[in-house]
Amino acid sequence: MVKTLYEKVWDSHIVAAPEGEAPLIYVDRHLVHEVTSPQAFSGLKVAGRKLRAPEKTFATMDHNTSTKSASLDALSPMARTQVETLAQNCKEFGVRLYDIHHKNQGIVHVMGPELGITLPGTVIVCGDSHTATHGAFGALAFGIGTSEVEHVMATQTLRQLKAKTMKIEVRGQVADGITAKDIVLAIIGKIGMDGGTGYVVEFCGEAISALSMEGRMTVCNMAIEMGAKAGMIAPDQTTIDYLEGREFAPKGEAWQQAVAAWKALKSDDDAVFDAHVVLEASDIAPQLTWGTNPGQVVAIDQCVPNPEDESNPTVKASIKKALDYVALTPGTQMTDVSINKVFIGSCTNSRIEDLRSAAHQAKGRKVAAGVTAIVVPGSGLVKEQAEAEGLDKIFIDAGFEWRLPGCSMCLAMNDDRLEAGDRCASTSNRNFEGRQGRGSCTHLVSPAMAAAAAIAGHFVDIRKPY
Amino acid sequence: MQPFTTHTGLAVIIDSANIDTDQIIPKQFLSKVTRDGFGVHLFHDWRYLDDAGDQPNPEFSLNQPRYRGASILLAKENFGCGSSREHAPWALADFGLRVIIAPSFADIFYGNAINNGLLPVRLTEAEVVQLMQEVEAEEGAQVSVDLQARTVTSPSGASFSFDIAPSASHNLLNGLDAIGISLGYGEAIAAYEAEIPSWRA
C-alpha cells in the first residue's frame, strides 16, 4: 500500500486504536518550556501521577527570559516565579533542563534540532504551536495544549485523530536573494491563514530540497500560520549531514540503522494526497505582511491592498479591520512604509544562517536615525557561533543591539516590547494585533529584509541597490 | 472535567473572522502558574481601553449590558488561530462561556476547548449569520445546544445540526478524565516501547 511521509510516521506510532476512541499515538520526544508546563506538572502532582519518561523530556527557559541579563533579578516577579517553578518541577520529576545559565539554553525550537533531539521519523510535541518547526527533519511535530502536555507526561502518548494530507510543491529555483521566509510567506499568501486547517502539509519540490536545514525549519515553523496541524519535509542527505555527531543523535550502530531507516522515509511516488498546491519558485519576490495576520502578505514591489477589490464580505471586513489597525492607506507602495523598530530573532529566524544573512546587509552600514534594531540569537550555541564568526561585531558596529537568547519580541512576554504606534520589521511569525505590544504594528519579513529596513528606515527591495 | 450535555443561554456576538488566541488572552497574562482567574483578562485589549483593565470599552460587545451573563459566543471563521496557549479556553470558560459557535476553528484551539468542557460548534457561515441576526434582533434571545442530538436551536426555533468526532462527544458528555482512560492502556504502551528501534529509543 502506498503511503505519504505523514502516513508512514503516523502508522509507526500507533499504540492502540480502540473502536470509538481516538487512536493513541506514541510520543518520542517531549519539549517543555516555562509558560505552558506549570499547570501540567501541578495536574500530575494533584493526581499523584508519575512522569512516564523523563529521559524523553527536555526543558528549557525561553518565553519569559531577559535578553539583557542572564539573571533572575532581571525578570518581573511573575515571570521569575514561572521560571523558578519550571526549575523546581524539573528537579522533582528528573527532567533535563537548560536554564538561563546553561550554554544550551535557547528557544525550544532552536535548541531541539541543534542538540540532535529532533530526529526524522519521530513524533515530537511541545506546548507551543511552533513545534511544527521540527517537521523540517521529517518528524511529525505539532503544538499541544497544557492538558495534552499533562497527558504526554503521564502516558508518553497522545489521543489524536488522523489529519488529511496536503502536498505543497515549490517547483524550480528561487531567484537570488529569495529566502525560505519569502517562500513560506508566499505559500501562506496563496492558501490563506487557514488554508491548511485539518491537514498535515508536506513541503517538497526543487526549491525546498535546495534549502539548508535552517531554511527548512523556517518553512515548517510557519506551517501553523497556514493553520496546518504540522508541516513536514522528507529527510535527505542534507538532513543526515546536519544531524551526524550532534549530542543526542544516535551513535555507532544505532546511527547506521537510523540512516538506513531515514533513507526510506519519504512519500511513495504514487502516494495520494487529499490536496495539492503548486508554486513556481521563480515567481516569488521578497515578501512582507501588510496586515494583522500572516495571510495578509504582498511582495515588496506591490501596494497595500484595497478592500473594495474583494468580493467576499468576510474577507473584505477583515481587510478593513486590519487596515484600520495598521493605519495604512490602500494603494501605498510597501517600499514607502517607514518603520522605527526592527526585531531579528524568534524560532522562525534566529539561527546562524539567518544571522549571517542579516549581517550581510548590515556590514559597513548604519541603522537609520530614529530606528531601534535588536538581534536576538536563538540559543547560546547560535550566539557562540555568531560571535566566533564576528557577526556580533558587524551588528554592533552598524548600530544594532546584540542580545541574549530567547523568544523576546516575537511575543513580547519579557520586556522586549513595542510601544503603541511603533511599526516593526520583524523576522518572527505572527503579526496579530498587539502581538509585539498593544497598539503596535508588525510586518513579517526575512532577516535580510529586516536588516535592510533597519538601515533604510523603510522597507526596501533588497534585489536592488539601496 | 465538567460534563457537557445540553445548554441554553444568552449568546454574545463578536462578528470577526480569524480571532486569534493573542486576542483571546494576551501574553501579559500568561505568566501565571495556575489555571484559574483568566476570565477577567479575556479579550483584554479589545475589552478595556487601558492597560490596567479599569476602563471597559463600551463599544465591545462583551461590555454591553444586553449581553451580560452570556454563555454562548458567536464568531466568524477560523476562531482560535495562532498560539497553542490553553489559557485561551481557560479564559473563555472562566468568563462563563460554555459554547463557541463559528464556521471553523483552528485545530489546536478546538482540541484544547474540548479538553476543558468548552464545546466548539461548527455551523455553516449562513447558519452562523442567521444566528447572529436573530440574537441581535431580540434582546435576551436564548440559543440552545444539545450535544447528544448534535443540534443548535436558534431563538426563532430553527434547528441546525453539527458534526463532532464521536470520541470527543463521548468524553464531553461524560466529563471523562482522558489521562485516566489512557493510563488504562499501560500494557499496550509498555509493549510498544519494547519494540522501539534503538535509534529513536
Contact B178 A147 (CB under 8 A): yes
Count of C-beta atoms within a 10 Å radius of residue B7: 15
Give B35-62 pLDDT, tens digit per residue: 999 999 999 999 999 999 999 999 999 9
Check whether A235 has a pLDDT greater than 90.
yes
Contact B193 A26 (CB under 8 A): yes
> How buried is A349 (Cβ within 10 angstroms: 0-12 exposed, 13-18 middle, 19+ buried)?
buried
Whole-number Å distance between alpha carbons of B92 and A292: 22
Mean of pLDDT over chain B: 97
| CATH T-level fold of A5-159 | Aconitase; domain 3 (3.30.499)
Whole-number Å distance between alpha carbons of A419 and A441: 9
- Distance from the Cα of A352 to chain B's closest Cα (Å) equals 25
Check whether A109 has a pLDDT greater than 90.
yes
Q: In chain A, what residues touch B199 (CB-CB under 8 Å)?
A: 119, 250, 254-255, 257-258, 261
The closest CB to that of A145, out of B26, B82, B108, belongs to B108
Largest CA distance in chain A: 65
Q: Are strands A14-16 and A24-26 parallel, antiparallel or unpaired?
A: antiparallel
Choose the mutation target among A33, A314, A315, A442 for the interface with B, i.e. most B CBs under 10 Å. A314
Superfamily of domain A164-236+259-283: Aconitase, Domain 2 (3.40.1060.10)
Q: How far is CA B108 from the centre of its chain?
A: 11
In B55-84, the residues whose Cβ lies within 8 Å of chain A are: 76-78, 81-84
Whole-number Å distance between alpha carbons of B190 and B44: 45
Of residues A227, A235, A295, A233, the one with CA closest to residue A260: A235
Please list, residue by residue across B119-153, b when 16 or more beta carbons sit within 10 angstroms of its beta carbon and e when fewer do: bbbbbeeebbbbbbebbeeeeebebbbebeeeebb
Q: Are A192 and A228 in contact (CB under 8 A)?
A: no
User: What local confidence, expressed as pLDDT, does residue B2 receive?
Assistant: 83
* Closest residue, chain A, to B51 (C-alpha): A438
Whole-number Å distance between alpha carbons of A27 and A14: 10
Please list, in sequence order, all residues whose beta carbon lies within 8 angstroms of the beta carbon of residue A337, skipping any fewer than 6 positions away. Answer: A290, A304, A328, A423, A443, A458, A459
Choose the mutation target among A13, A21, A61, A409 for the interface with B, i.e. most B CBs under 10 Å. A21
**H-run or E-run covering A92:** helix A77-93
- Taking the CA atoms of residue A345, residue A349, residue A351 and residue A353 in that order, the dihedral angle to the nearest 10 degrees is -120
The closest CB to that of B189, out of A38, A148, A156, belongs to A156
Q: In chain B, what residues touch A321 (CB-CB under 8 Å)?
A: 16
User: What local confidence, expressed as pLDDT, does residue A292 receive?
Assistant: 98
The closest CB to that of A434, out of B26, B111, B185, belongs to B26
The answer to whether domain A288-456 has CATH 3.30.9.10 is: no
Same fold flag, A5-159 and A288-456: yes
The B142-146 sheet, strands edge to edge: B119-122, B99-102, B72-75, B6-14, B142-146, B151-153, B159-161
Whole-number Å distance between alpha carbons of A326 and A433: 8
> Is B32 in the A-facing interface, judged by CB distances under 8 Å?
yes
Contact A35 B85 (CB under 8 A): yes
- Rg for chain A, CA atoms, rounded: 21
Q: In chain B, what residues touch A82 (CB-CB under 8 Å)?
A: 31-33
Q: In chain A, what residues touch B111 (CB-CB under 8 Å)?
A: 144-145, 148
Of residues A114, A104, A113, A119, the one with CA closest to residue A250: A119
Whole-number Å distance between alpha carbons of A442 and A58: 31
Whole-number Å distance between alpha carbons of B128 and B189: 42
Choose the mutation target among B14, B179, B181 for the interface with A, i.e. most A CBs under 10 Å. B179
DSSP output for chain B: -----EEEEEEEEE--S--BHHHHS-GGGTT-SSSSS-GGGTTHHHHBSSTTS-SB-TTSGGGSGGGTT--EEEE-SSBTBS---THHHHHHHHHT--EEEES-B-HHHHHHHHTTTPEEEE--HHHHHHHHHHHHHSTT-EEEEETTTTEEE-TTS-EEE----HHHHHHHHHT--HHHHHHTTHHHHHHHHHTS-GGG-
Q: In chain B, what residues touch A22 (CB-CB under 8 Å)?
A: 165, 167-168
The A164-171 sheet, strands edge to edge: A230-232, A199-204, A164-171, A275-280
Q: In chain A, what residues touch B190 (CB-CB under 8 Å)?
A: none
Whole-number Å distance between alpha carbons of B96 and B118: 10
The closest CB to that of A432, out of B82, B125, B182, belongs to B82
User: What local confidence, expressed as pLDDT, does residue A20 receive?
Assistant: 84
Three-state SS string across B65-112, please?
A: HHHCCCCEEEECCCECECCCCCHHHHHHHHHCCCEEEECCECHHHHHH
Q: In chain B, what residues touch A134 (CB-CB under 8 Å)?
A: none
The A423-426 sheet, strands edge to edge: A401-402, A372-375, A341-344, A423-426, A441-444
**Amino acid letter at A338?**
S
* Closest residue, chain B, to A250 (C-alpha): B199
Check whether B6 has a pLDDT greater than 90.
yes
Q: How far is CA A353 from CA A122, A213, A348, A357, A383, in A?
A: 25, 10, 12, 6, 12
Q: Are B31 and A36 in contact (CB under 8 A)?
A: no
How many residues does this entry show for chain A?
466
The closest CB to that of A197, out of B51, B83, B107, belongs to B107
In B128-157, the residues whose Cβ lies within 8 Å of chain A are: none
Q: In chain B, what residues touch A129 (CB-CB under 8 Å)?
A: 82-84, 108
Average pLDDT over residues A413-426: 97
Mean of pLDDT over chain A: 97
Domain layout of chain B by residue ranges: 6-200
Choose the mutation target among A34, A35, A347 for the interface with B, i.e. most B CBs under 10 Å. A35
pLDDT band (50, 70, 90) for residue B1: confident
Q: Are A25 and A14 in contact (CB under 8 A)?
A: yes
The CA-based angle A157-A160-A163, given to 5 degrees, is 140
The cell 508536506 sits on which residue? Answer: A202
DSSP output for A154-181: HHSEEE-PPPEEEEEEEES-PPTT--HH
Q: Are B98 and B119 in contact (CB under 8 A)?
A: yes
Cell numbers standing for residue A56: 524523553
The closest CB to that of B199, out of A64, A161, A254, belongs to A254
Q: In chain A, what residues touch B52 (CB-CB under 8 Å)?
A: none
Whole-number Å distance between alpha carbons of A269 and A262: 16
- Distance from the Cα of B58 to chain A's closest Cα (Å) equals 18
Average pLDDT over residues A282-311: 97
Check whether B177 has a pLDDT greater than 90.
no
Q: Are B25 and B85 in contact (CB under 8 A)?
A: yes
User: What local confidence, expressed as pLDDT, does residue A78 receive?
Assistant: 95
Check whether A232 has a pLDDT greater than 90.
yes
- Rg for chain B, CA atoms, rounded: 19
Architecture of domain B6-200: Alpha-Beta Barrel (3.20)
Q: In chain B, what residues touch A435 (CB-CB under 8 Å)?
A: 22, 27
Local structure of A195: helix, strand or coil: coil
Give A111-137 pLDDT, tens digit per residue: 999 999 999 999 999 999 999 999 999
Domain layout of chain A by residue ranges: 5-159, 164-236+259-283, 288-456
* Closest residue, chain A, to B85 (C-alpha): A145
Of residues B102, B104, B109, the one with CA closest to residue B83: B109
End-to-end CA, chain B: 33
The closest CB to that of B22, out of A38, A315, A434, belongs to A434
